[in-house]
Amino acid sequence: MNNGLRDLEDVKSLKWYKEEHMIQVQMRKNVLLILLALLCAISFWSRPAHAAQVEIGGVSATATFNPTTGGFDMQVDWEDDISPGNTILGHMIYLVPAGPEIYNFQSYHNVNQTMINGAARSWTSSSSIFNDSFSIGAGNPLIEGDYHVYVVASVINSGMPFTAISSSNTVHLSPIQPISATYNLALNNQPSLPQETVYAKVGDTVNLSFTLSRAPSAMPTVKLAAQTVNNVSSVGNNVYKASYQFDANSIEDSVQVEISAEGNTVAATSDNNSVIIFDRTAPTATTFNINNGDTVTNSRSVTLTIASVDNPTPRGVGARGTLAFGSAVPGTGPVRLASLDNSAWNIRGLLARSGVTSGLGEMRFSNDNANWSEWEPYSTSKQWELSDGDGVKTVYMELKDKAGNITTTPASANIQLELPVSIAPVNIKSSNDLTGYAKVGDTVTLTFSLSKPTSSALTATIADQDVTVTSVSYNVYNASYTLTNSDFEGRVWFSIRVGSNPPEASTSSTTDDTKVIFDKTAPTATVLTINSGAATTNTMAVTLTIEGQDNSRLVRAGKLLASADNSLYTWGPLAYSEPVGSGLGQMQFSNDGVNWSDWEPYATTKAWTLSYGNGTKTVYMKLKDKVGNEMTTPYTATIDLQQPFYSSSSGPSYTPSETITVNVENGVAPSGSVVSTATINRTTDANGRKTDAVTFTLDQANKTVDQLKAAGSDSARIVIPDPKDEVSEVNVTIPKASTDSLVKGNVGVEISTANGRVDIPKSSLEGFADDIYFRFVPIKTEDERKVVEDRAKKEQEVRLAVGNDNISIVGRPMTIETNLQSRPVTLVIPLGDTSSLTEQQLQNLGVFIEHSDGTKEFVKGQIVNYDDSGKLGIQFTVTKFSTFTVVKTDGLNKTTHKAYINGYPDGTFGPEKNITRAEMASLLARVSDKAATKSSIAYTDVASSHWAKDAIDQATKMGLMEGYNGGSFKPEQTITRAEMAAILSRISGNSASSGDSFNDVNGHWAQSAVAQAKAAGYIDGYADGTFRPEQTLTRAEAVTMINKLLGRGPLSGAASKWSDVPSGSWAFEQIQEASIDHTSEKNATGGEQWVTTP
C-alpha cells in the first residue's frame, strides 16, 4: 500500500467517544466537517509549504434498489479542481449515516470497488470530471435511511501525500421503490379534457383522477390550484379521485396538481397535457357607443361600436403592509424604492402579480335590459335594431369571457331616435263579396296607418279620383270611393301622400299585397245546346251544354302631365295589360224568359226539364260573373219536343216508349201500404238506352195527402222499380202545385229508386217557388267506375279523412241532380253485395261526394237497411248534389281535423294575448254550423270594409253574438270570460242549469250561462273556486273552451308549432289541436294522438 493510502488508514484509527447526550443531526454534520478539516490540516502540514490545494466539487449521487441483488445500484459524479504539480493517486467514496449517532470513524463505510487511477498521474489542466458506478451489496448498509456521500482523493505533491475531501451529498437508501403518478383532469364531471386549454369560472369544479405506480401505505394527499382538498377517495387498483370547486378566493392561474404519498411529493405527469385555467374576473367594456357616438339618428338600424378587455384580478404575493403609489406599478419583478438617503431598497417578493385571463368570448344586446338577443361571438361592431318609436333609446350590452364570466352590470349607450313618418300598413278592400274585386256601385276603401302623428296634410286618390281622408282611430285613417261606369276597368290604383312638395312620405302600394280589380263587364255565353244540339226529343228531361267566358284583358294608356314650361311629360308606363274579368260565377235558366230558376254555380252541363206539351221549346240562360255582373240579354237554345202517345195498357211491352204505373206508399208504414199511384214514362232511344220520367201530379199528391192523413202518417214514398236493372236514367218532377199540397198537408216525400233513395223533409219543401226535379243516373260500366275510383284516391278530401290507406269502391257510384239546392235532404245509397265485408269493414265505409259546384266532400255516413230484402245502404245528409261514391278503407277510425285558428307571421301564437269580439266572431263563423235564425244587423261601427264584417254578420244571424245599445258591435273590444260562457251556452243550446257553480258569479248577468257551460264541461274555474267573469279572455283560454265544445282534442304527439308555446304549457295540447291540420286516433286518455299531417 502506498504512503497516501497508509495515511488514510491511520486516519481511520482515530477514535471518537460517545458524549453523554445524543447529538442533533446538524451537530453531527458539524463534527464531521471539523474532522475532515483536521485531516486536511495534517496533510497540509506534511507537505512542502508551496503545495497547492486540490478541491472536489459538484458531487451528486443516486441510488436505486436492485431487487435482483438485494442491494443498490449507485452512481456518483464529481469534479476535481487540480493545481499544477499535484497528482491524484486515487479516490475513495464514503457513506456516512445521517440518522444514527456516530460512535467512531469505523462507522463510516468505505464503498468497495472504488475506482483507483493506478499509477500516479499529473494533470496540467485545471479540472477534470470523474464518475464511478458500483453496487452496494445486500445488507450493506444495514440501516435504511438517508446517507451523506463524500468523495475523498489521495494526492501527492512534491513527494508528500495529503487528502482532499468533498462536501456531502445526501442520498436515501430504501428497498421500497418511490411512487410516481399519472393523472387526468376534467371539468364539471364532463369527460376527460382534450389536449387544449379549458377555462373555468367561480362555481366550476375541477375533477382529478390519478393512478399511483404502487399502493401507498396511507391515503395520498392532493393539492389542486394550490389548495389542499379533503375529498380524496380510492376507486380501486391504485386509482384515486379528488375534486375542487372554485370560489371567489381561488387564485386565477392554471390549475397545478400536487400529489403526495408516504410523506413525499410524487412525480406526477398528465396523461394528455390538458390545461385548466381559472378565471374569476368578468370582462369589461372600455368603449360602447351607437353610430360612432352620434347623439341623433333617424333610423332604427344602427351600428354599435365595442371595445372591451378581459383583464385578470391582481393578487398580492407575500406583501407586508400596504404601499400606495402615485403611478402604475409593474406587475412583475422586484420594485425599487428610494430611501431617505437616496440609497435603493429591494422589496423581497412581489407586491402584486397579474393572474391569467380566458379572453373575450361572447356578447349579447338588449333594448330594455330584460329581453336579450342570443349570445354571439365577440366582435368590435354589431348591426342592431332599436325599439320602435321616437325618443331616447338605450342599448344594453353584456359580455361573457371564454370561462363563462358575465359582466355584472351591462354596458349601455344612448341615442335620440327621430323617425320620419311612414305609411304602413296599407290595405285596400272592396265592398263586393268576392275578395279583391269590385263592380259598378261597389265601394273601395283604403285603410292605412301612420307611424307617428303628423300635422301635415294627408291627401289620397282612388281610381285617379281625389278622396277625403278620415281619421278612424289613433294614427289610423281611411278613404273611400264608390266606383262608377265611367271609371277604368282593371286594377283600382291609389296614392297616399303626407305633406307636399316634396311629400314627407308617399305610397301607392299595399303592405299586405291586397288589390282590387274593377270589373264592370258582364260575362258572355258562347254555347247553349239541348241534348248536344239534337233537333228533337221525346222526353221533357233534357241535358243542357253550356259555355261562357269572362276573361277580358284591359290595355290602358298612361296619363300625361303638363310641366311648368308647357312641355309634356309622360307619367308612369305608357300602357299596361292585366286581366279584368272576375270569372264565370253562376247561371240560371228559364222556359219562358220570365220565371227563372235560382242562381246556381256555373257548370258546363245542366239537367233541365222542358215545359209540358209538344212543340218547339226554348230554354233561356243568363250568366253572372263572380263579381256580380249579370247578362242583360238571355242566351237561348231550342228543341222540338215530340212526346209519343202512350196506351194505358197495364202490362209493359217492348215499344219505343211505355207507360208503367208505380205505387206511392206510406213512408212510415211497412212496404206495400199503397196510398196513391204515379206513372212512369219509359222511353228507349236508338242505342237501347232506357230513361224513366215520373211526374207526381197534383191529383196524385192530393190523394196521397188524404190517405196519409187518415193513416196518421206524414211521409210519402214514390217507388220507382227497375227489377231488370235496365234503366240508365230516372227523372222525377214534382210540380210546384204538388209541392204546395204536400207542404199544406204536412207531408214529406221520399223518392225510392233501385240505385238510390232521396228523403225530402217537409221543411225543405216549404217556400220553394219552382217545380222540383231530381235526375238519377247510376254509373254502371266498369270503365266509368274505374275513373271515379281513381279520382277518389287522388282527392285531398278523401286523403284528409283516411290518410294514405288504400280505398276501393263499394256498390255503384250514383249521379243525382236537382234544383232543390241548399236544403237538407237525406240520401241512402245501396251497397250492393256486402257478403264479403266484415262488420268492421262496414263501419269503415264512407261516401266521396263530387258536388256540381266543383267542391268535394267526404262523409262517413251510417249503415242502414236499404229495403225489406235485407240489402244494406249507407245514409247521410246533404244540401247539394252531384256524384256519390261509396268507398271502403281501413282508415276511418282516424279523425281528421282542420285548424280553425292561426298564429302570427313571426312564428308565435300569443297564448296570453286577449281576444277581441271581431276575432271571436271570425272563430265562431269557422266552427259553428248553427242555422241562421235572426236577421242581419247593420252595426254602426262595422264598416262594409271591415275585415271581419262577414263573420260578424254570420255570428249575429246565428244568434251567437249580440250588439250594444245604440247599434254598435265594438269589434275591437276584448271579450270577457262571462261573454264567452254566454256564447258557448247559445251554441250548445243547453238550457239546463246547474246548482253547482262558482262563488263569484252569484247575481252576475251571466250566472245562468256560466252554470250551463260548466255543467256541459266547456269551462273550468280557478283553484280558489272563482270563475272571474269580468276577466278578459286569452287566446289560450278561448281555444280550450271551443275545443271542449266541439269535442276535439287535446292533441298529443304533434311537433311543437309555436315558439312561445312550450310543451310544458298548460294549454299546449289544446293550442296544437286548434291550430294544426291533423289526422289522429283516440288515445288512452280520451284525447287525440297525432298520426299524420294531411
The beta strand positions in 118-159, using DSSP E, are 127-136, 145-157
DSSP 697-730: -HHHHHHHHHHHHHHT--EEEEEE--TTS-EEEE
Is CATH 2.60.40.10 the right assignment for the domain spanning 524-559+574-641?
yes
Q: What angle do CA 239, 242, 246 make, to 5 degrees?
A: 155
- Per the CB < 8 A criterion, the answer to whether 1055 and 1091 are in contact is no
Above 50 in pLDDT, residue 6? no
Beta strands at 391-401 and 360-366: parallel, antiparallel or unpaired: antiparallel
Neighbouring-strand partners of residue 517 = 437, 491
**pLDDT tens figures, 609-664:** 888 778 899 999 999 999 999 999 999 999 999 865 443 344 444 446 788 888 88
At residue 1080, what is the residue type? S
Instruction: Kindly report the pTM of this predicted structure.
Output: 0.38
b/e sequence 116-135, b meaning 16+ C-beta within 10 Å: eeeeeeeeeeeeeebebebb
**pLDDT tens figures, 802-816:** 554 567 788 888 889
Average pLDDT over residues 949-955: 89
Give residue 881's pLDDT band: very low, low, confident or very high (50, 70, 90).
confident
Average pLDDT over residues 23-31: 43
Phi-psi category of residue 369: left, alpha or beta, with phi > 0 → left and psi -120 to 50 → alpha: left
Above 60 in pLDDT, residue 524? yes
pLDDT at 644 (0 to 100): 57
Positions of CATH 2.60.40.10 in the chain: 180-278, 284-317+350-417, 524-559+574-641
Neighbouring-strand partners of residue 774 = 732, 818
At residue 675, what is the residue type? V
Above 60 in pLDDT, residue 710? yes
At residue 1062, what is the residue type? P
pLDDT at 221 (0 to 100): 95
At residue 957, what is the residue type? K
d(CA 967, CA 947): 19
Location of C-alpha cell 237554345: 637
Average pLDDT over residues 905-920: 89
Which CATH entry fits the domain spanning 284-317+350-417: 2.60.40.10, 3.90.1210.10, 2.120.10.70, 3.40.50.620? Answer: 2.60.40.10
Above 60 in pLDDT, residue 52? no
d(CA 51, CA 515): 121
Positions of CATH 2.60.40.1930 in the chain: 423-518
What single-letter DSSP state applies at residue 293?
G
3-state secondary structure of 514: coil
Lowest mean pLDDT, pick from 175-184, 297-306, 1070-1079:
175-184
Task: Name the phi and psi angles at 921, rounded to 5.
Answer: -60, -40
Above 80 in pLDDT, residue 105? no
> For the packed helices 736-744 and 698-711, what is the interaxial angle rounded to 10 degrees?
10
Give residue 171's pLDDT band: very low, low, confident or very high (50, 70, 90).
confident
Above 50 in pLDDT, residue 254? yes
Give residue 753's pLDDT band: very low, low, confident or very high (50, 70, 90).
very high
pLDDT at 324 (0 to 100): 52
CATH architecture of 3-173: Sandwich (2.60)
- Give percent helix, percent strand, percent coil of the chain, each to the nearest 5: 15, 40, 45
Q: What cell was used for 74?
A: 449507485
CB 402: neighbour CB atoms within 10 A? 20
pLDDT at 13 (0 to 100): 31
Give residue 670's pLDDT band: very low, low, confident or very high (50, 70, 90).
low
For the chain, what percent of residues have pLDDT higher than 90?
33
Neighbouring-strand partners of residue 470 = 478
CB 638: neighbour CB atoms within 10 A? 11
Location of C-alpha cell 252576475: 1004
Phi-psi category of residue 349: left, alpha or beta, with phi > 0 → left and psi -120 to 50 → alpha: left
- Per the CB < 8 A criterion, the answer to whether 748 and 761 are in contact is yes
**pLDDT tens figures, 1027-1072:** 998 999 999 999 999 999 888 889 998 888 999 999 889 999 999 9
At residue 74, what is the residue type? M
Positions of CATH 2.60.40.1470 in the chain: 3-173
Report how far Cα 625 is from the mean position of its chain's Cα atoms. 43
CATH architecture of 180-278: Sandwich (2.60)
At residue 417, what is the residue type? L
Phi-psi category of residue 803: left, alpha or beta, with phi > 0 → left and psi -120 to 50 → alpha: left
Location of C-alpha cell 451523506: 148
Average pLDDT over residues 758-762: 92
CATH architecture of 423-518: Sandwich (2.60)
Above 80 in pLDDT, residue 893? no
**pLDDT tens figures, 60-88:** 888 777 777 767 777 778 787 777 777 77
Neighbouring-strand partners of residue 338 = 344
**pLDDT tens figures, 117-147:** 333 333 333 344 555 555 565 545 556 677 7
pLDDT at 242 (0 to 100): 94
Average pLDDT over residues 346-375: 76
